Structure 1
């Protein structure tokens, strides 16, 4: 075979490109087949477990009473969706379990993330909510879709989706700025810490071009406040 012949060389290049393409498709397919988890995450008492319980109950889509509790371990259920098993994980909101949360996000097993916000306590928790979301979005290197559930909308102190969206936007901008300013590593070398975007305090949701983030308002006690939308997101 004459490797100096342009025609032969072109055929070889095309064959190599074809093999690489096939290999990438196979790898992507294998990764996709291993993704069968939906992660529920949020601060403590945000309402994750309530929503989790609703999804797991077969008798009633919107139960009139729901028992809630603070847990230090994951709650898990397995649902059969479209002839495939899907594991739903209710992850504890305790700060001490953040490293394990990062490991879970990095596991390449997640299909979707539901980020639950306590709308009624948002005013006092806005920074903490933003920092947790920042962590989740930053570590979400697979860019799986994230649904932000503005929960407890039935309570009188609940902030609207618009207020939560705008406040988180500002807080994420501040976090961007503070992280970008930390340029010096502990050993004296230049070490720029990872930021969600390079837009600083001018952050907007549109800056997450490769990350699908959507919002929904929810309540545990009414069919009018989007819990069914979370179910649709989980089953998509």
Structure 2
């Protein structure tokens, strides 16, 4: 109150007005100051909120190991036909319509899809493209059990990646070559990935001290890792055969992601 009286006295002396008028002017100055402060707070807090709530990109990123069928699936989606492919360090990038059925709600006018090379030395560049992704289709060769270790290592990198932690980019694990009699089931592949990631959690856990654990640790301490439950994003699985043109689950996934 003493400060209020001093402020009122100063205004009264400076403007040569009566005490009542000076008091009213003092309150107007106070209210105006509060209003300006609130507006500034909203502006700066809004900017900070905008920075923290990043939006995902708008491309479909196709990942997976060499030989998993990424490029074959890419051409099936784009051209509807089988194409003989070879391993390459060049990515495929194109926009094309998606037609999952005859109804309009089962069709997309255009989706940009990136088929990224599966070579190990290209993996870092693939991770750099995560901010561009609306969703990820991860191709797995369900007939190649030894490569599941590499798949698990890549998933560990993906699921602890800062962009994935922020953007929660949905992933479809497409278990390709399901037409083969020796193909592993979705359940087997998921459990094998979980087993390999659990081993990595144990071996890497000792190196986490002093690091940003949010970026390094995957899962819940004291619990065995579960891919569907402990991942920072939604993960779905399906079985497909790019060779036999049995890729309907991929169409359905894309419709789901781009219609939301």
Q: Specify if TM > 0.5.
A: yes
Q: Which position in structure 2 is the counterpart of 1:109? A: 132
Q: Which runs of 5 or more residues in structure 2 are unaligned?
A: 1-25, 99-106
The alpha-carbon distance between structure 1 residues 2 and 83, as it changes in their structure 2 partners (threshold 3 A), is farther
CA-CA distance at 1:96 after TM superposition = 1.3
Q: 2:179 aligns with which of 146, 154, 170?
A: 154
Q: Which position in structure 2 is the counterpart of 1:228? A: 251
Q: Is the 8 A contact 1:72 1:94 kept in 2?
A: yes
Q: Distance in 1 between matches of 2:257 and 2:74?
A: 11
Q: Distance in 2 between matches of 1:99 and 1:228?
A: 27
CA-CA distance at 1:219 after TM superposition = 1.1
The alpha-carbon distance between structure 1 residues 170 and 78, as it changes in their structure 2 partners (threshold 3 A), is same
The 10-residue stretch of structure 1 (44-53 or 96-105) with the greater mean CA deviation from structure 2:
96-105
Q: Which position in structure 2 is the counterpart of 1:125? A: 147
Name the count of aligned residue pairs: 219
Q: Distance in 2 between matches of 1:120 and 1:109?
A: 30
CA-CA distance at 1:195 after TM superposition = 2.2
Please state if 1:54 is matched with 2:79.
no
Q: Distance in 1 between matches of 2:246 and 2:198?
A: 34
Q: Is the 8 A contact 1:176 1:200 kept in 2?
A: no
The alpha-carbon distance between structure 1 residues 85 and 11, as it changes in their structure 2 partners (threshold 3 A), is farther
Q: Distance in 1 between matches of 2:173 and 2:124?
A: 21
Q: Distance in 2 between matches of 1:95 and 1:200?
A: 31
SS at match of 1:134: helix
Q: Distance in 1 between matches of 2:124 and 2:146?
A: 24
Q: Is the 8 A contact 1:51 1:227 kept in 2?
A: no
Q: Distance in 1 between matches of 2:108 and 2:44?
A: 31
The alpha-carbon distance between structure 1 residues 4 and 179, as it changes in their structure 2 partners (threshold 3 A), is farther
What is the RMSD computed on CA atoms of the aligned residues?
3.4
CA-CA distance at 1:216 after TM superposition = 1.4
Q: Which position in structure 1 is the counterpart of 2:87? A: 70
Please state if 1:94 is matched with 2:111.
no
Q: Which position in structure 1 is the counterpart of 2:3? A: none
> Structure 2 matches for 1:1-236, cutoff 5 A?
15-16=39-40, 18-20=42-44, 22-23=46-47, 32=55, 35-57=57-79, 60=80, 63=81, 65-79=82-96, 86-105=111-130, 108-121=131-144, 123-139=145-161, 140-141=164-165, 142-183=167-208, 190-191=210-211, 194-199=216-221, 202-204=224-226, 205-208=228-231, 210-220=232-242, 221-223=244-246, 226-233=249-256, 235-236=258-259
Q: Which runs of 5 or more residues in structure 1 are unaligned?
A: 185-189
CA-CA distance at 1:67 after TM superposition = 1.3
Q: Which position in structure 1 is the counterpart of 2:23? A: none
SS at match of 2:181: coil
TM-score (structure 1 length as normaliser): 0.76
Q: Distance in 2 between matches of 1:88 and 1:116?
A: 14
TM-score (structure 2 length as normaliser): 0.70
